[in-house]
Amino acid sequence: MEKKLVKCAVYSFIVGLVLMIIFVPRTTAYENGMGMYTTVTMPYADYFFMIVRYALIFASICVLVLFTVEVNKRREQPDPFLRFLVQWVIEPIQSFFVGFFGVIVVGCFCVIVIAILDWLIF
């Protein structure tokens, strides 16, 4: 179980880091009272520490979820609350993310194929 937890921590940290780099912007636009916008760019050091902090939070949550699932599997008579938590909360969220990432992968593959075909044709 320890190897699974360490693997989960490492992989979820890497995935969290990649997701945060993709989805967390470095610049923020603020609207002042007259309808004009001011753009503020965060320094790289602050941005890096913010990204790492979010990735660590994501990895910690993933490890706690895996630990809960593994403890529930190892018990002969599972705790009713843990069984409820796994069946009604964790498994639907897990299936949602698997489906979401499946659609993202298929979409990226289609975009790459279309770009290659467009490049070859024109």
For 20-36, write each residue's pLDDT tens digit: 888 888 898 888 878 88
**Of 91, 96, 99, nearest to 68 (Cα)?**
91
Residues 54-70 have a mean pLDDT of 88
pLDDT for 48 equals 92
Are 27 and 41 in contact, with CB atoms under 8 Å apart?
A: yes
pLDDT for 110 equals 85
Whole-number Å distance between alpha carbons of 98 and 117: 28
Instruction: Print burial letters for 31-54: b (CB count within 10 Å at least 16), e (below 16).
Output: eeeeeeeeeeeeeeeebeeebeeb
> Does 85 or 41 have the greater pLDDT score?
41
Whole-number Å distance between alpha carbons of 59 and 5: 10
**Of 104, 96, 99, nearest to 19 (Cα)?**
104
**Of 53, 50, 58, 51, nearest to 97 (Cα)?**
58
